[in-house]
Structure 1
Amino acid sequence: MTQKFTSFETFYPYYLEAHENPICRRLHLLGVIVALGAILYSILTQTWWTLAIAPGFGYPCAWLSHAIFGKNVPATFGHPFYSFKGGILMYRDMLTGKVPF
């Protein structure tokens, strides 16, 4: 990834473009839901070691969705913090109808 961004505001349109495939977006959302479920399980059962594997549920869904459906490289490889924030905003925008589900 060679593209540089000076602010999140310039990054977010790029992030949305990388997620224009609806199946890619849905698999991202599924990964987040499963990862949050793993975190909730860790808290409820107090098996704290399972917190370490929670990202292992979410990221494969996202990465595979880019490889198979998005046909692009995940933005998280070059911009991990912007991508995390972009994901949260994209999920919000999906729930509010700004971004198609």
Structure 2
Amino acid sequence: MATPISTADVAHVARLARLALTDEELEQFTGQLAAVLAHAADVEALDTTGVPPTAHPLPIDNVLRDDVVVPCADREEVLAQAPASESGRFRVPRILGEAP
């Protein structure tokens, strides 16, 4: 089987990624990338007719509870527990010198 990717291709990708690779690394990565591409070609050759698209190999059930509408806390009670409030809202320190 011919190598689907050359050392020059790997060197080009390394340059684009701004990676400095030695000659030994180029040879090593060329072989590794060729193996990955060969595996991808094997997967591409599989007959997937009738196989639905899958996001996860196992069925997943939603483990979250259903949303249930409940009354919210009383505004005055919550603001009474705050360190400072003003005009029915929490009062917080000014941030980054913003104008009031």
- Is the TM value for this pair above 0.5? no
The structure with the larger Rg is 2
Larger helix proportion of the pair: 1
